[in-house]
Amino acid sequence: MPSVRCLSLDSDQGPHREILPQNGFDLHWAPPEADPFDEDQLITLLQGFDAVVAGSEPYSRRVIEAVPRLRVIARSGVGYDAIDLEACDEAGVVVTITPGVNHHAVAEHTIALLMGVARGFPETDRRVRENRWKRIARPRVMGRTLGIVGLGRIGRAVATRAVGLGLKVVAFEPAPDQRFVQQWNIQLTDFDDLLARSDYVTLHLPASAETRHLINAETLAKMKPGSVLINTSRGSLVDEEALCEALRSGHLRAAGLDVFEQEPLPLDSPLLTFDNVLLSGHVAGLDEESHTDTYAMLANTIVELYNGGWPDDRIVNLKG
């Protein structure tokens, strides 16, 4: 009987609990004290398993080479920057994702962070808890400009919601859906112009060598004074040290972040010291609907692979 280790942080519930056993798979969850972000522990957790329901824990070359029985890394999401694809190719390990199931969740979370920082959270919440009452007039969101960096499935979902809030939307996207752009009255522009014009900048690009530290000291300096940065894509897109400096100087008014360069975010991170930075723990893509759809797709993908199928739209490696 093929064995599957469930490591994704929210994998304790979902349709995979029925789909996989019904198709002959034996499911195992990690003990609560285990830390899959530690490579040594991850290797131990994966020993003897054919597939893993993966979160954002690191699948380095060392990990892949240490678990020769592993055949499938099934990511509960669309990002795979924590996985060494070259090592997986060499070992014949299939890496899969779950595309098209969480864009509405990410878009809603993006808007939630934007509205939260626009209305002064988390500082406003902290003041009430400390019995400090202070009223501050802040810029209205309606009529401001939102710059969307990356107009893919998630970026488009953000755009439609932003238009509904009365925001003007500009976007940087090398390969845009022109029909969508025209339908929603979105102005396409280059990256530097977007930074200079936008009151809010939201990032929706994958992690890659090209996008690493896309937001750095130089690009932050190009952002409109008093603007806000939102990141619900990948932590590697933002140089957090440079971001903290831009916040300290007042060049940026605030930031809303769901993803970080190191996850979980270390407790000594300077980001935790700012009252104008609203944080969440890589949960933007998670709501009840996306959770159900993600784990159903993930489980069916594992079953299809085991039965000799090749769901190409969900496989990110072994293309050659």
pTM of the model: 0.91
Provide the token pair at 3.
Answer: 């064995």
In this prediction, residue 312 carries a pLDDT of 96
CB atoms within 10 A of CB 298: 30
Task: Check residue 11 and give its pLDDT.
Answer: 85
Q: Which fold has domain 3-101+287-314?
A: Rossmann fold (3.40.50)
Averages of pLDDT over runs of 10 residues in the chain (320 residues) are: 87 94 95 93 96 94 98 94 96 97 97 98 94 93 98 97 98 97 98 98 95 98 98 97 98 98 95 97 95 96 97 92
Active site residues: 234, 263, 282
Same fold, 3-101+287-314 and 103-279: yes
Question: What is the dotted CATH code of the domain comprising 103-279?
Answer: 3.40.50.720
Q: Which two tokens stand for residue 138?
A: 């802040």
State the burial class of residue 209 (Cβ atoms within 10 Å of its Cβ: 0-12, 13-18, 19+): exposed
Q: Which residues pair with residue 252 across a beta bridge?
A: 227
Where do the domains of the chain lie? Answer: 3-101+287-314, 103-279
